[in-house]
Structure 1
């Protein structure tokens, strides 16, 4: 193995080992303290700004070397195998969604651990969705998607649009299920990438605006901070989650990201238990699809720019712009 290949492989392994396991733990599910919004000046600290610039540079460089990951030994065989099972992706989403909803129904929840089933009609609707998804016909799948959307809207009305943006990826899932076997079918998975990526970015900003909740989790669950000060660790952890969401949207390393995040979710399950399984079962299904699909159907925004320098500048400036936009919007309505 060449020195360059070894370096790239080491980078991926280091990313996996160094990623904080609290990053993808939804803080609302585990924090025991009330959310306390911090001043914007505290969020945009010198460390935050410096770290953001460093990450923007790293991402811009990563966009130039990502093709070398495919040259790692056995990567071609793995890619060919995954390419061969793409035809099952929609079946995995359909039946995987049914599986995730079964877990939620058994636990007495809808969509997420904090949305408890309080009325019998909700149990009936959840059961109908699951049954419709298990029927191997696209019309039944569309019926399931319709009922999912109706149930999601009722939860949205109870909790508000701002709160439910954390779970915007469900709208993407519903969209994919609904447009199957139609002329819009090819739009499904790109929309799933977009919806999931934006949801991850949105949840990450929560950790910056309400750091006390994440700090409570770090302390009470004795999460290792790898020698960093807990407050600094929280900022870095949120950046990891935001970067993963951003990369899914711009179409960089989707298969590798899907694998890394899946392994991270497995590690968080060991720490947070059943609540984590209930809350992230659906995300696991989506990530499996990302691992299988890669970017085969998706023209990443970065490909709009042909030269390396244009791609470098695009990723750098676009990351800073997206980061600033998310923070300002979240802070304004939080």
Structure 2
């Protein structure tokens, strides 16, 4: 099995190298063209379907070799260190959220770069959230979560519920902060994984349905395509983002995925500048939590099945089902 994992690593690394900086750069923030939905037949090209099958096979194999990553030198020591850091996860999330909102307040935005602060009351509410999060008491944290929910709902009402699904992870963050020091506290981080993973999957589909926006970014920002045509490159890029979200939901390689996405976010910040930093500051905090927590709080769904063959079949079919569901729902309502 170890030999198989060594053979698999080049395939995984190839996907990582193929991941462009446009993957995690939200296309709505940078594209200079209007979104134009392409026909479904164009999305479901032979390359798309073939690549989907390849990814499903890789994920099925990956689910069986993930434990062997711990055999890498110093991996066990690092794993033990991160386990000890779990006691600080909620503190990091609380103060990290305050930092992210402070960056947004200074930049004159709320939640994302496209939502500008247009009224004094919004600035006051942002300030209340930051101050409440900085007060080291769980009631103050709960107050911040409630106020944050109200502000999010106001933006949601203005922008539309479908549009705000891109930022659904904020609801997960609010939930985690709200249930701290309660009997439901254990549900917090699983919900955070679920909300963040689903948000990443959702945003990834946008690149398939509206490829012109991503292509515009590739051309205008001179994003390297590693020898692939821009059209093929965008398809592969969206797959990388979708896979990351899927892995977070199913609980496979959460620490490695969190570290990988953090490194990619750093590279996108160098390319896209302050807008990228403002937009993804909150995601950076969440990824730090993922790196620390791993999958400490629940058994990955794949473990429901006992034999390795059953687990591989489950991951293979489940990925294709989730991919098709997201694509069809986004295409229908997007």
TM-score in terms of structure 2 length = 0.97
d(CA) in 2 for partners of 1:15, 1:42? 23
Give 5+ residue unaligned stretches, structure 1.
Answer: none
Partner of 2:254: 254
Deviation string, structure 1 residues 2-46 (Cα, Å, up to 9, x no partner): 866765665665554332111111000000000000011001111
- Please tell me whether the aligned partners of residues 250 and 300 of structure 2 are also in contact (alpha carbons under 8 angstroms): yes
d(CA) in 1 for partners of 2:153, 2:274? 26
Partner of 1:56: 56
Task: Call closer, same or farther: CA 1:18–1:233 in 2, change over 3 Å.
Answer: closer
- Please tell me whether the aligned partners of residues 198 and 249 of structure 1 are also in contact (alpha carbons under 8 angstroms): yes
TM-score in terms of structure 1 length = 0.97
Deviation at 1:299, TM superposition (A): 1.8
d(CA) in 1 for partners of 2:59, 2:152? 35
Deviation string, structure 1 residues 125-162 (Cα, Å, up to 9, x no partner): 00000000000000000000000000000000001010
d(CA) in 2 for partners of 1:4, 1:237? 26
3-state SS of paired residue (1:85): helix
Deviation at 1:298, TM superposition (A): 2.0
Partner of 1:264: 264
- Please tell me whether the aligned partners of residues 8 and 69 of structure 1 are also in contact (alpha carbons under 8 angstroms): no
1:235 pairs with 2:235: yes
- Please tell me whether the aligned partners of residues 103 and 278 of structure 1 are also in contact (alpha carbons under 8 angstroms): yes
d(CA) in 1 for partners of 2:88, 2:10? 32
1:180-259 alignment runs, 5 A limit: 180-259=180-259
Partner of 2:91: 91
Deviation at 1:303, TM superposition (A): 1.1
Give 5+ residue unaligned stretches, structure 2.
Answer: none
Task: Call closer, same or farther: CA 1:4–1:76 in 2, change over 3 Å.
Answer: farther
- Please tell me whether the aligned partners of residues 82 and 292 of structure 1 are also in contact (alpha carbons under 8 angstroms): yes
The alignment's C-alpha RMSD in Å is: 1.3
1:61-210 alignment runs, 5 A limit: 61-210=61-210
